[in-house]
Structure 1
């Protein structure tokens, strides 16, 4: 396994699409609790002028990601072992996944993050103030630990699905480029 993505929402699935398309063995650990799932119609995604139900977008993205080669698995990541690379993620039911790259793409899964001393602040871009972001993380999603990235609102991007998707894709391209040791390009 090459990449573990914790969270199968907009950013996590976008990241997985690019890492999978680059030929990286990618697993997405998802609780299927993406906030987008409850949105009746998303209008702020180019290409959907009439809107698309959030759950429909998620279903289509999951299908596209699995077609690209990623594995989606239901579960809650409860432990992240970061002492040595490759890193290990353990789920609530005891399954273990190990990879040199881990992407944290959770918006409300603070427990896992606080266990690792990530300083979490309120994401001021989200009016409800219920979303946190990891202090010091920029748009590139890089944490201080090589191979561990943050994607989506946890990386302090505005609460717009298209922005979270773009940032997740950017993280995926960075990981793929590092893995392939050349810039990853996908134009088909």
Structure 2
């Protein structure tokens, strides 16, 4: 694998689209608990004239990733390494996956990050105050660890799926550009 993405919600799947389109072997590890699945009708996406449910959005985004050759595995991640690159991710079923790039796109699963040196604060953009963000990062998603990024609400963006998708895509483009050693653009 070239990139492991923990979290198959809006930001994680958006990131996966771009890394896979750049030719990177991309694996999304997902618990299938995305917050958008609770949304009955997505009205606020430019270009989506007829509202679709959050579940339908997820289904279509997953299909896009897999049609490009990306892999999506249903798994609960129990840990990951940050000390040595490539990074290793462990799952509840005893599987291990390794890649030089790691994207953390877990939103409510932020407790996974507390096992490492990440400092978390309440994402004030989220009215419920249930979501945290990684203090050591900003919109670019870069963390103090080379090759480890955060995507979605962990990057302290507002709780709007279209913003999380854009930030996830931005992370994917950065990773692809680094991997290819040249700016990556995708305009089909």
What are the equivalent positions in structure 2 for 1:62-81 lying under 5 Å apart? 62-81=62-81
Larger mean CA deviation between 107-116 and 9-18 belongs to 107-116
Runs (4+) of structure 1 moved beyond 2 Å? none
Question: Does the alignment pair 1:117 with 2:117?
Answer: yes
Deviation at 1:69?
Answer: 1.3
Give unmatched runs, 5+ long, in structure 2: none
1:23 aligned partner: 23
CA contact (8 A) 2:19 2:176 kept: yes
What SS class does the counterpart of residue 108 from structure 1 fall into?
helix
CA contact (8 A) 2:151 2:164 kept: yes
CA contact (8 A) 2:136 2:144 kept: no
| Count of matched residue positions in the alignment of Structure 1 and Structure 2 | 188
CA RMSD of aligned residues (A): 0.7
2:86 aligned partner: 86
Distance across 1 between alignment mates of 2:110 and 2:160: 20
Question: Does the alignment pair 1:98 with 2:89?
Answer: no
1:129 aligned partner: 129
What are the equivalent positions in structure 2 for 1:16-55 lying under 5 Å apart? 16-55=16-55
Deviation at 1:170?
Answer: 0.3
Distance across 2 between alignment mates of 1:185 and 1:128: 36
Tell me the alpha carbon deviations over residues 32-56 of structure 1, each in whole angstroms, 9 at most, x when there is no partner. Answer: 0000001000111112233110000
2:183 aligned partner: 183
Distance across 2 between alignment mates of 1:49 and 1:127: 27
CA contact (8 A) 2:7 2:106 kept: yes
Give unmatched runs, 5+ long, in structure 1: none
Distance across 1 between alignment mates of 2:110 and 2:78: 10
TM, length-normalised to structure 2? 0.98
What SS class does the counterpart of residue 117 from structure 1 fall into?
coil
TM, length-normalised to structure 1? 0.98
